[in-house]
Amino acid sequence: MAINSKAEARALTSEENDLVDQTRHPALQDLSDSDIGKLVALLRERRNRAQSQANQQRREMRRKSEPKGAAPAAGDTGNRLKTQVLAKAMARLNSESTRRKQLAARIDLRASARKALEMKKEAEKDESAYNTRHAHDGMRAIKSQKRQDLIRPMERGRQRKAGAVAQARRDARQAEA
């Protein structure tokens, strides 16, 4: 459900509103990774507090707990809305953090691939590579001397069991006679 900016401003304090504004696009790009981590911690703390207050208000409405104020709470919509706004802000921060990690991983992968290509080209130029313990043109694969087993293990087990049953029948007939 989309929440308009007026409802957000009404639900949040001015400090919380500043924190949430930092999670939107232009300001979010300017934040460093450590700032994003700190902002996530602050928003998580505020969201958990709003969540626990909304839960307390719901308990008061159902008369499951004593009211914290002079009168029991009439509704929890304000804190529920605040929780939703803060959760969406955290989701934006988490997705930006994930995007940055994936970007860094792609950059590292490209750097590693370039380095590997350079090493490969350098090894191809090097004539001393034939002194290494690797197979070259003169070596051939030796075919395995172990004969191939054509009988499936299941079939072998079935035959063994059938033989055991037949032997048990013969032994039972001899025992009768």
Does residue 173 fall inside a structural domain?
no
With beta carbons less than 8 A apart as the criterion, state whether 86 and 52 touch.
no
**Look-up: residue for tokens 């159902």?**
62
Asked if residue 111 is part of any domain, the answer here is yes
Looking at per-residue pLDDT, the higher value among 123 and 131 belongs to 123
Assign 129 a pLDDT band (cuts: 50, 70, 90): low
In this structure, is residue 146 part of a structural domain? no
Cα angle value 57/40/3 (rounded, 5°):
55
Q: Within a domain: residue 70?
A: yes
Q: Is the pTM of this model over 0.85?
A: no
**Which residue segment(s) compose the domain that 71 sits in?**
5-123
Q: What is the Cα gyration radius of the chain?
A: 36
Percentage of residues in the chain having pLDDT higher than 70: 89
Structural domains of the chain, count: 1
Summarised one tens digit per residue, pLDDT across range 148-167 is 888 899 999 999 999 999 99
The three-point CA angle 135-138-144 to 5° equals 70
Residue 131: is its pLDDT beyond 60?
no
CA–CA distance, 177 with 51 (Å, rounded to integer): 85
Residue 56 lies in a domain: yes
Q: Please compute the mean of the pLDDT values over residues 34-55 and round it to a whole number.
A: 92
